[in-house]
Structures are given as structure tokens and as C-alpha cells.
Structure 1
Amino acid sequence: MAPRPTTNYIPHKCLPVKNYILRRSFMPSVRKSIEINAPTEVVFDVIANQPERMPEWWPPLEEQERVTPPPTQVGSVSRYVYNMMGVKIKGEHEVIELEPNARLVVQTKSGLDSTFTYTMQPQGAGTLLTVEVEYNLPGSILGKMLNKLAVEGKNERDLEEGLNNLKRMLES
């Protein structure tokens, strides 16, 4: 009798699976929205076209620099230094989706395993900005426990503080 394939079997031709949609479905995430009294074009410009300014408003980001020259487009790369609870992590991220004045998706290429999705919607004379950060911690069970105990709350606080900083910066 021939052995029966298990339900976990994935044909070799499907590996490695680093598909954006599959990646997103298994990653913990934090998501917040804020109304900013500035036009969508201004909000988008700072987030998408001025990545070197991100440390001014995103608390754990210590450094950010362009690797590829402007203008920002799909494939643009930036280098960062991120302070995660006292541990400095260096890496690069890449723009994987860009819709001017509406949406920007940035995915890490090295360092932290994360995806940042920025969505901007006109709201009267201002903008409703929604940011979702999806991330993965190494070590399956231990990583999940650490996430629930400490990282998720810290990421939520950092995201809220970052959005409030960006709001103050753009409204002043």
C-alpha cells in the first residue's frame, strides 16, 4: 500500500514560499488611524518622499537613509537603525507598492521581518492616515509569547506616539 500524503505536504515546486499575501496572513500586527489637518498630498510627501525624516516622528527609529535616489518608487530602498527595547537592529526596507497620495507599502529586506502599510484618505481639508505594521519575531512559540507579553504593547504605543508626532509636525 502506498503511503498517503499528509495534509502538511507542499510540493517542492511551491517552495520557498515568500509570497507577500501568505506572509501577511501569519504575522502579528498593530494598526492605528489618525486625522491630520493637512492635505493628503502633504502627508504622502513626508511619508513616501522624505524617508530620511522618519526618525523625527517614529520613536524607535534612530536612523533612516536612502540607498536609491529619489523619486520614491516601487523598488526604492532605504537603510535604517531601529531600537527595539534597547537592542539596535540595522536593516533595509523596500517599497513594494505605491499609489501616489493614497497608499505606500514598505517591506523589510533585512533586519526586522516587517511590513508597513500607510493608507491615506482625504477627510474634508485633511487626511485620515491609517498605518498597519505587521511583524514577525524569531522563534515560533517563544516569539509568540514574547510578542504577547511585551512587544505587541510596545509596538502599539510606538505607533500611537509616532502618529501623534507626525500630526504635530504636519500641523505646525
Structure 2
Amino acid sequence: MRWRSAPRLRRSRRSEVRGAASSTSGSNPSRGPNSDNSRVATVRETVEIEAPIERVWAVVHEDFPNAGKWSSNLEKVEVLTDGPTRRGTELRYLLITPGGKQELEVEHTTVTPGKTVAGRFVKGPLKGDWKYSYSQREGRTRLTYTMDYGPNGFAARLFFGIIERQLPSDVAKTMKSLRKYVESGRGPRPPKARK
């Protein structure tokens, strides 16, 4: 009897997997399912929105109570720190996933208004970093979301293949929904500049 290997899955252009530091010897005992030396996936999605950066920024980084109106799988966002979005701001996302409800907490590590917001996952099924990058041309906003992530915890490692396949399409859906939401005129408007 001859064994056939399972067919390989093709990754989308938006998702790639990078192996963690690997050993040159034949085996690496630190690469088991309970190690922190697990693989990392990257998802990157860009969308152009017919609106100025200030408007898109206000929707994404200031109007947290309405984030579920444009973000897929999001039930709500809880702001865990006081004040405006800044370095050190912490948020808790309550997500609805095929595996049930999940909580994911993030901390902002970089906030440069109109340019970049970046941070890291601090609690939940994922570990890694995320970043929103903004640019503007002729009144249109180009927004790129990038996330480098890996499983956090034993259960997340067991289901990481499913997460890795699902997340790129969820991010693409969210970015398209954000564009539609902003272009329809919904969400907050940034304050008018003083003269």
C-alpha cells in the first residue's frame, strides 16, 4: 500500500507565514506546541477611501462605540484607559468567532495623528503586532492595515491553521466595510480647523 501526501494549501497573496528562528540541527525541542517559538503569519490589506484622513482617523481611532458597524466579527470595543487615543491606550475587543466569543486586548505603542497607529496584542488568543498606516492624495485616504501575529496559548496553537486561513478574508471584509461606512457619510466628523 502506498501513502499519498495531503495536498498543499495555497496561501493568498495577502497572507504569508514566516517560520520562527530555526535550529540547524535535526530537531529542536523548543519548537513544540507549548513553546513560544511558534510561527508567525502576516496579513496586509490596503483600501482607498473617498474621504480625508481626518475623517477616516476619527472613525477608526476615536469612535469606538460604533466600530462594530463596520468591523467584521466585532461585538464591541471597550476602552480600558482614560483620555484620547495615545501611546499606552489599551482596548479590549469582544469578537465573535467560529470558535465562540473571544476577548483580545491591545496596547497602542505608536500614535502619530494622520500618519500611523501601531500596537501589540497583550491578552487573548493572538500575540504579535498591528499597524494602521495613512497617506492622502487628492482628498482620498489610502489606509493600510498590517498585522504580524501568532497563536497565544495551547488552544490557539491547535486552531492556528483555521485562524490563519480565516483572518485575511476577515480583514479584507472589514476594510471594504470601513470604506463603505465612511463614504456613506456615517460616523463622526473631525472638528473643523480654527482660522
TM-score by length of 2: 0.67
Asked if 1:120 corresponds to 2:134, the answer is yes
Q: What is the match of residue 49 of structure 2?
A: 36
Q: Measure the CA separation in 1 of the matches of 2:77 and 2:159.
A: 26
Root mean square deviation, CA, Å: 2.5
Partner of residue 62 from structure 2, selected from 22, 42, 49: 49
Q: What is the match of residue 18 of structure 1?
A: none
Q: Measure the CA separation in 2 of the matches of 1:78 and 1:139.
A: 20
Which amino acid in the other structure matches residue 104 of structure 1? V
Asked if 1:161 corresponds to 2:173, the answer is yes
What is the identity percentage for the equivalent residue pairs of Structure 1 and Structure 2?
A: 25
Which amino acid in the other structure matches residue 127 of structure 1? T
Q: What is the match of residue 117 of structure 2?
A: 104
Partner of residue 144 from structure 2, selected from 99, 119, 130: 130
SS of the residue corresponding to residue 68 of structure 1 reads coil
Write 1 or 2 for the structure with the bigger share of helix. 1
Q: What is the match of residue 15 of structure 1?
A: none
The alpha-carbon deviation at position 139 of structure 1 amounts to 6.6
Q: What is the match of residue 170 of structure 1?
A: 182
1:13-28 superposed matches below 5 A? 27-28=40-41
1:136-147 superposed matches below 5 A? 136-138=150-152, 143=157, 146-147=159-160
What does the per-residue CA deviation read over 1:24-78, in whole Å, with 9 as the maximum and x for residues that have no partner?
Answer: xx62111010100010111112112223332221212212111212311101111
State how many pairs are aligned.
147
Which amino acid in the other structure matches residue 121 of structure 1? S
On the 8 A contact 2:124/2:152 being kept in 1, the answer is no
Unaligned runs of 5+ in 2: 1-22, 24-35, 185-195
What does the per-residue CA deviation read over 1:125-171, in whole Å, with 9 as the maximum and x for residues that have no partner?
Answer: 1101100122211479x93x8544x3223111101110011001100
Which amino acid in the other structure matches residue 171 of structure 2? L
Q: Measure the CA separation in 1 of the matches of 2:138 and 2:41.
A: 32
Unaligned runs of 5+ in 1: 1-7, 9-22
